[in-house]
Amino acid sequence: MSKFELKLPRMGESVAEATLTTWLKEVGDSIEMDEPVFEIATDKVDSEVPSEVEGVLLEKLFTIDDVIKVGETVAIIEMNGEVSTSIAKVGESENVKIKSEEAKIEVPVEAVAMAEDMVSIARETTDVTVRDYSASERFYSPLVRNIAKEEDVSMEELDAIQGTGKEGRVTKNDMLAYLENRKSGKQEDVQTIEPEPLPAPVRKPMAVPVGKHEGSTIQSNGMDEVIEMSRMGKLIAKHMVESVSTAAHVQSFIEVDVTNIVNWRNKVKDTFERAEGEKLTFTPIFMEAVAKALKKYPLMNISVDGERIIKKKNINIGMAAALPDGNLIVPVIKNADRLNLVGMAKVVNDLAHRARTNALKPDEIQDGTYTVTNVGTFGSVFGTPIINQPQVGILALGAIRKVPAVIETKEGDFIGIRNKMYLSHSYDHRVVNGALGSMFAKAVADYLENWDVTREL
């Protein structure tokens, strides 16, 4: 027999302790994995604490109304088999699974490895400052721009290079010679490079290393440049292809009038920033709406495992965030339905900032149960996003635009200027029918359109 310590988990950075309100199990009771064992209360939320293993409740270490600190052992559970060292301390891993038929620990190694890989790749691929050469009036080929970016050549330096190509264009050889002379301190010799000869039709492409990252090369045949995908790009491509091959994608679209939200945010955003030290964007408002809709329609908060449907207890919303190199990463807002708007804004801002600065931890991009992507950030009116497997739905937020609209009143209809946007809901038609997929999107829209303009933070 092995003993398992059930500890009080972390419930947010500002929560250090909680009060035990109810024991849901008695000593000697059998406990299933993810079955609630006791309830706690904090100054923010009331919550159940589930077991991470199957077994029998052996000992209670606290009584009702006791104050427990985060990380303290609350109960001892006796289980069969040997406990893996990866869960010797309860609460340090939320991704451990138990095989009930064997009572052994099964750690999802591939999922953890992939998450760690994605984070490490994000750090690698965004270490280099991304320079923008679009402001220059001079033409530079993609190959030249890529070399300049990888070697951290400023726009002033690039504009100063005398090109030897057609019409004075800077060629690959000009760049390589400039970089070589920059290292040796002989930049004045750059202008003496012979023009690059045109390739013969049968000439093989030349590989030119342009970065420090594994496999990051560009091949040129004199006309086109072939850029090898980054490791993160390959992972994303594989994941997207597998998703399209696995899920039967269907989309529902709905137009939403968000005029009340726009006006309310404009009224409170300055006060919010002064009080909380955070900017109030539209994203946390949308996330709050999605969390409420998932609570109303829990069959959207599921995953598919072969021919089984797994109904998720927690609402963990993935938030697609763009990295400086153009790739995407999806940090997860854990227990999104338990956050108020202030808490949601702080979590959203924190995850977005740490995504951009390569400070996310592997467990912060795991365990998502539903995903939201904001295509409106890039000016898109709507999109048809691909589902993040094994989830069954993803919502795309379109750009907010001022448009003429028919406004219905008791006195009659009239035309007015309204702020509107589109919601695009992609869902897996294997397990989500059109009615559920559409009702979920409508629930999000209704919450946004019925925004209380007198709401206080």
C-alpha to C-alpha distance for 136 and 377, rounded to whole angstroms: 25
pLDDT at 94 over 90: no
pLDDT tens-digit map of 292-350: 999 999 999 999 998 999 999 999 999 998 877 777 889 999 999 999 999 999 999 99
Q: At what angle do helices 341-356 and 283-296 cross, to 10 degrees?
A: 120
pLDDT at 111 over 60: no
Least confident of 58-72, 231-245, 416-430: 231-245
Structure token digits, residue 436? 């559920």
Is residue 180 in a domain? Answer: yes
Give the residue with greater pLDDT, 288 vs 356.
288
The verdict on 212 and 282 lying in the same domain is: no
The verdict on 267 and 223 lying in the same domain is: no
Residue 322 is predicted with a pLDDT of 81
pLDDT at 425 over 60: yes
Is residue 118 in a domain? Answer: no
Residue 438 is predicted with a pLDDT of 97
Give the mean pLDDT of 409-420.
94
Residue 159 is predicted with a pLDDT of 80
The verdict on 102 and 43 lying in the same domain is: yes
* Nearest in space to 419 (alpha carbons), one of 266, 317, 299: 266
Structure token digits, residue 169? 């264009």
Last residue within a domain, chosen from 195, 228, 261: 228
**How many CA within 13 A on the CB side of residue 390?**
13
Is residue 370 in a domain? Answer: yes
Is residue 115 in a domain? Answer: no
Last residue within a domain, chosen from 179, 194, 228: 228
The verdict on 217 and 283 lying in the same domain is: no
Structure token digits, residue 226? 């072939």
CATH number, domain at 69?
2.40.50.100
Is residue 269 in a domain? Answer: yes
List the Cα angle 333/337/93 in 5-degree steps: 50
Which residues contact residue 177 at a Cβ distance below 8 angstroms, ignoring those fewer than 6 apart?
189, 190, 193
C-alpha to C-alpha distance for 391 and 370, rounded to whole angstroms: 6
The verdict on 201 and 323 lying in the same domain is: no
C-alpha to C-alpha distance for 393 and 391, rounded to whole angstroms: 6
The verdict on 276 and 215 lying in the same domain is: no
**CA dihedral sign, ordered 305, 315, 380, 225:** negative
**What domain count does the chain have?**
3
Question: From residue 363, how far is each of 112, 115, 283, 411 by CA, in Å?
Answer: 8, 7, 22, 55
Question: From residue 35, how far is each of 29, 81, 316 by CA, in Å?
Answer: 12, 19, 18
pLDDT at 374 over 60: yes
Domain span at 199 = 142-228
How many C-beta neighbours within 10 Å does residue 371 have? 23
Is residue 239 in a domain? Answer: no
* Nearest in space to 391 (alpha carbons), one of 423, 351, 422, 432: 432
The verdict on 88 and 157 lying in the same domain is: no
**How many CA within 13 A on the CB side of residue 175?**
24
The verdict on 28 and 165 lying in the same domain is: no
pLDDT tens-digit map of 121-144: 555 554 444 566 656 667 676 677
Query: In angstroms, how far apart are the furthest CA atoms of the chain?
Result: 87
The verdict on 270 and 412 lying in the same domain is: yes
The verdict on 173 and 319 lying in the same domain is: no
pTM here is: 0.55
The verdict on 223 and 340 lying in the same domain is: no
CATH number, domain at 284?
3.30.559.10
The verdict on 368 and 292 lying in the same domain is: yes
Is residue 129 in a domain? Answer: no
Give me the chain's average pLDDT, please.
80
C-alpha to C-alpha distance for 256 and 262, rounded to whole angstroms: 12
Last residue within a domain, chosen from 62, 91, 107: 107
Is residue 234 in a domain? Answer: no
